[in-house]
Amino acid sequence: MPKKSKQKKTTAKQPATKCIFIVGGVMSGVGKGVASSSIATLLQSRGHRVTAIKIDPYINVDAGTMNPTEHGEVFVLKDGLETDQDMGNYERFLNTDLPSINYMTTGSVYQSVIQKERNLEYKGKNVEVVPDIPLEVISRIKTAAKTAKADIVLVEVGGTVGEYQNVLFLEAIRMMKTEESENVAVVMASYLPVPGSIGEMKTKPTQTAVRMLNSVGVFADMIVCRSPIGVDRKRKEKIAKFCNVKVENVISAPDVESIYDIPLHYEKDELSLRLLETLGLSTRKKADLKEWKRFVNRSKGGDDVVKIAVVGKYFNSGDFVLSDVYLSVLEAIKFSAYKLKLTPEISYLSSQDFEDKKNLKNLKKYDGVLVPGGFGTTGIKGKLNVIEYVRKNRIPYFGICYGMQLAVLEFAMNVAKIKNASTEEINPKAENLVIGVMDEQRDNIAEQKMGGTMRLGQYPAVLSSGSVAAKAYRSKEIVERHRHRYEVNPEYIEKLEVKGLRFSGKSPDGRLMEIAELPVEDHPFFVGVQFHPELQARPLDPHPLFTAFVKASYEAD
Ligand code: GLN
């Protein structure tokens, strides 16, 4: 008997982790990241343990060194890695924190292969671009799956099929599919234009993209068709025939008002069932999207409107206005507004426009003003003017990171009357550096060690009882994510507090000022935070400080 049970144990195989790759066809910017997040949400809703990985085909080792107007927001993970904004979408859709193993760039993959070679881990063999780079990619995917104890891992390959940059990642898909075809599915997120002059949806670009994918030995199991309108049966059949996929695996993905509607749309074409079938997984468990649907319904509009102005410096790009740079901030405002049954009306204002004080009165029409994080000198004068105006006019203010440092600086200049005050980031020679470089950052700056060296990731803070912050969090201990090199200079704390500014959140050792606020008697809501609360705001779990800010904005006269 004991022998038998022993035998049973050794033969019981762990089910293999299934892997879904998402690649982009035709063009970029069609919402591949949101497609991946939505697919992940649907599989999760059917009871699977899902994790999501983003691959960026850049030489940059992480996203921290990329200009946000080019690449969008830098999303900081809990463990401190600076990543692409799609990681934020995954965290928001899956309502979970993701670790740094879930993000890789060409640069980071090469870096580890070279490091392993230096450590003699290849045992004297030739290290080659193929297969060693794709093998490193596959090994990272497997580690990520194991870390998350996931039964399904989604891998989004950045860029578009046909670009030189992502060929090695496509090679990783080919190798993995050859090894374990039953565990790998490939989804192409494509685009079907409806040219105005013709008025008909065209499938040819998708056919060409699929052929390009096939030319590197990768075959799509499913095609998600992004388009201005839904894809009809006739075109689905055409795509199926010319692209070698089953007609039921051609999924219609028309433009929708809110990205959070997308999982519900996909389910109309039974996307998750089709994927589970492709991967040989059970399709018996029904999708539980109750909570998600409740959130989506709330997002359709509330009882009243709340008008929030976000004053940033990265909005203008040529003739276009970009809001991607502040994506998480905008989403965080929306989640809190929906929770309060309000319709958020968010305006993107360029800080440079407020260098002229005459424009400040335009701020009167907003219920609340938010200054998000930032770097450098551009637009600073405008931001300081905005902060002075909202402080004096009692317009609710929420300052994030740079927005907190500048609020402290404005208070130092205009209330505490500290002469020639500045932040070291703008004017290192100023007499009174109210915001200074953190000690541990001095060498990094001097030696130009700028990549991945800021104070990054999650740190705890302790809040003072009775403060605006503690009331919002309903807790005295919090954990938030950071990304900065500068801090409130401890030498000025007393001078500022005497004049009425309160440092209501500090690092547990009391050294770093994490929150500055004005008491409610002095201002309806004036809070600055050194961290980035937006990174932890989730559709199903809005951030308490954003909720407090939006509520105060709505309620203030
Ligand atoms: N530039 C500031 C610093 O490095 C603020 C950074 C930010 O807003 N993320 O401290």
Which of 294, 310, 336 marks a domain boundary? 294
Domain boundary among 259, 294, 329: 294
81/74 Cα distance (integer angstroms): 10
Task: Report, as an integer, the average pLDDT of 407-436.
Answer: 97
Of 13-27, 125-139, 355-369, 404-418, the poorest mean pLDDT is in: 13-27
Please give the share of the chain, as a percent, with pLDDT higher than 70.
Answer: 96
Q: Which pLDDT tens digit goes with each residue over 511-525?
A: 999 999 999 999 999
The Å distance, Cα 374 to ligand 1 centre, comes to: 6
- Among 401, 433, 456, 489, the mutation site with the greatest number of ligand 1 atoms within 8 A of its Cβ is 401
| Residue 10 Cα distances to 3, 4, 6, 35, 180, angstroms | 11, 10, 7, 39, 21
Q: Whose CA is nearest to atom 5 of ligand 1?
A: 402
> Which residue's CA is the nearest one to ligand 1's atom 6?
484
pLDDT beyond 50 at 1: no
Residue 189 shares a structural domain with residue 264: yes
Same domain, 279 and 337: no
Note whether 346 and 487 are same-domain residues.
Answer: yes
Q: What is the pLDDT of residue 197?
A: 83
Task: With respect to residue 454, please indicate whether it lies within any of the assigned structural domains.
Answer: yes
> CB-based contacts of 452: which residues, under 8 Å, 6+ apart?
61, 62, 64, 80, 81, 82
For the CA of 401, the closest atom of ligand 1 is 8
Question: Which pLDDT score, from 0 to 100, does residue 119 have?
Answer: 96
Q: Ligand 1: which of 406, 483, 530 to mutate, judged by most atoms within 8 Å of the beta carbon?
A: 483
Task: Name the residue with the closest Cα to ligand 1, atom 8.
Answer: 373
Token duo for residue 42: 């649907």
pLDDT attached to residue 94: 96
**Domain containing residue 480:** 301-555
User: What angle, rounded to 10 degrees, do the helices at 402-414 and 380-392 form?
Assistant: 70
| 532 has catalytic annotation | yes
> In the prediction, which pLDDT does 28 show?
77
Of residues 401, 425, 480, 484, which has the active-site annotation?
401
Ligand 1 centre to CA of 230 (Å) is 43
CB 223 within 8 A of CB 188: yes
Q: What pLDDT is stored for residue 302 in this prediction?
A: 84
From the CA of 503, how far away is ligand 1's center (Å)? 18
Claim to verify: residue 314 and residue 286 sit in the same structural domain: no
Q: Cα 103 to chain center, whole Å?
A: 12
The CATH number given to whatever domain includes residue 232 is 3.40.50.300
Is 369 found in the same domain as 353?
yes
What is the mean pLDDT of the segment spanning 407-424?
A: 97
Q: Which of 261, 294, 327 is the last residue of a domain?
A: 294
Please indicate, yes or no, if residue 94 is contained in any of the structural domains: no
Averaged confidence pLDDT in the chain: 93
Catalytic residue (choose from 514, 517, 534, 543): 534
98-144: pLDDT as tens digits: 999 999 999 999 999 999 999 999 999 999 999 999 999 999 999 99
- In this structure, are 331 and 290 located in the same domain? no
81, part of any domain: no
Mutate-to-test residue for ligand 1 from 485, 487, 531, highest number of ligand atoms within 8 A of CB: 485
Residue 10 placed within a domain: no
Protein residue whose Cα sits closest to atom 3 of ligand 1: 484
Report how far residue 168's alpha carbon sits from residue 145's, in angstroms, rounded to the nearest whole number. Answer: 20
- For residue 200, being part of any structural domain is answered with yes
Provide mean pLDDT across the span 200-227: 94
Interval between CA 485 and ligand 1 midpoint (Å): 6
What share of the chain in percent tops pLDDT 90? 81
Specify whether the CB–CB gap between 4 and 139 falls below 8 A. Answer: no
Based on the domain organization, do 505 and 467 belong to the same domain? yes
Q: Indicate whether 531 pLDDT > 60.
A: yes
534 is annotated as an active-site residue: yes
Give the CA distances from residue 46 to residues 15, 213, 277, 284, in Å, rounded to whole numbers and listed in that order. 17, 30, 13, 9
Secondary element (H or E) of residue 167: helix 167-179
Is 347's pLDDT higher than 90?
yes
Neighbours of 490 (CB within 10 A): 13
From the CA of 420, how far away is ligand 1's center (Å)?
A: 21
User: What separation in Å is there between the alpha carbon of 510 and the centre of ligand 1?
Assistant: 20
pLDDT over 70 (residue 4): no
Is the whole-model pTM more than 0.75?
yes
Q: Are residues 327 and 209 in the same domain?
A: no
The pLDDT of residue 12 is 55
Q: Say what the pLDDT of residue 301 is.
A: 83
Q: Could you tell me if residue 129 is inside a domain?
A: no
Atom of ligand 1 nearest to the CA of 375: 1
Query: Given 48, 484, 523, 532, which residue is catalytic?
Result: 532
Query: Which range is least confidently modeled, 1-5, 49-53, 147-151, 262-266?
Result: 1-5
Q: Please, what's the b/e burial string for 536-557 (b: 16 or more CB within 10 A of its CB; e: otherwise)?
A: bbbbeebbbbbbbbbbbbbeee
Mean of pLDDT values over 235-261 = 92
Give residue 282 CA to ligand 1 midpoint distance, Å.
Answer: 48
In a domain? residue 5: no
Residues with CB under 6 Å of ligand 1 are 373-375, 401-402, 405, 425, 483-486
Q: What CATH number has the domain bearing residue 438?
A: 3.40.50.880
Q: Which helix (H) or strand (E) element contains residue 204?
A: helix 204-214
Question: What mean pLDDT comes out for the span 483-506?
Answer: 97
Q: Does residue 307 share a domain with residue 239?
A: no
Residue 244 sits in the same domain as residue 307: no
Sequence length of the chain is 557
500: left (phi over 0), alpha (psi -120 to 50) or beta: left
329 and 231 housed in the same domain: no
Q: Which atom of ligand 1 is nearest to the CA of 376?
A: 1
357/277 same-domain check = no
In a domain, 82, yes or no: no
Residue whose CA is at the smallest distance from ligand 1 atom 7: 373
Q: Tell me the CA–centroid distance for residue 411 and ligand 1, in Å.
A: 18
Nearest-angstrom CA–CA distance, 274 and 185: 11
Q: Which of 176-185, 190-199, 347-356, 390-399 shows the lowest per-residue confidence on average (mean pLDDT)? A: 190-199
Total domains in the fold of the chain? 2
Chain segment 440-490, per-residue pLDDT in tens: 899 988 888 899 999 999 999 999 999 999 999 999 999 999 999 999 999
Label each residue of 498-532 as H, E or C.
HCCCEEEEECCCCCCEEEEECCCCCCCCEEEECCC
